[in-house]
Structure 1
Amino acid sequence: MKVIDLTHTIREDMPVYPGTETPGLSPASSYEKDGFKETLLHMYSHTGTHMDPPAHLYEGRTTLDQFPADQFVGQALVIDCRDLAEGDAITMDRVRRYGALAEEADFLLFNLGWDKRWGTEAYFGNYPCVDDEVLDHIIKGHYKGIGFDVIGLDPMDDADLPRHKKLFKDCEIVNIENLKDLELCGEGLFWFACFPMKIENSDGAPARAVAWIE
Structure 2
Amino acid sequence: MKIIDLTHNISNNMPVFLKDEKPNLKQVNNVQDDGFSQTLLNIYSHNGTHMDAPLHVIENALTLDKMDVSNFMGLGIVIDCKDLVNAKEKIIDISYIEKNRINVEKAEFLIFNTGYFHKWGNKDYFKDYPILHENLINYIINHKKKGIGIDLMSIDIISSENLPIHNKILKNNIVIIENLTNLDRLGNDLFEFYALPLKYENSDGAPVRAIGIIR
Q: TM-score range by the shorter chain?
A: over 0.9
Q: Are residue 22 (structure 1) and residue 25 (structure 2) matched? A: no
Quote the residue 1:147 is aligned against. 149
Distance apart, 1:142 and its partner CA: 2.2
- Runs of 4 or more, structure 1, over 2 Å off, are none
* 1:74 matched to 2:83: no
CA–CA distance in structure 2, aligned partners of residues 194 and 87 of structure 1: 30
State percent identity of aligned pairs: 44
Query: What TM-score, normalized by structure 1, do the two folds share?
Result: 0.97
- The answer to whether the 8 Å contact 1:87/1:129 transfers is no
Matches of 2:23 and 2:101, distance apart in 1: 41
SS in 2 for 1:28: strand
Number of matched pairs:
213
In the other structure, the counterpart of 2:119 is 117
Does the residue aligned with 2:165 lie in a helix, a strand or coil?
A: helix
Residue number in structure 2 paired with 1:51: 51
Q: RMSD across aligned C-alpha pairs, in angstroms?
A: 0.9
Q: Which moved more, 1:81-90 or 1:35-44?
A: 81-90
Residue 201 in 1 paired to residue 188 in 2?
no
Query: For residues 42-191 of structure 1, what are the structure 2 equivalents within 5 Å?
Result: 42-84=42-84, 85=87, 87-169=89-171, 171-191=172-192
CA distance in 2 between partners of 1:143 and 1:12 (Å): 34
Whether the 8 Å CA contact 1:87–1:126 is kept in 2: the answer is: no
What's the CA shift string for 1:18-75, capped at 9, x where partnerless?
1011100011111122111000011100010000011111122110011111111110
1:83-134 CA-to-partner distances (Å, cap 9, x unmatched) read: 0126411000011111121111000000000000000000111100001111
Q: CA contact under 8 A between 1:77 and 1:107: conserved in structure 2?
A: yes
Q: Which residue of 1 aligns with 2:11?
A: 11
Which deviates the most, 107-116 or 138-147? 138-147
2:96 partner letter: R
Unaligned runs of 5+ in 2: none
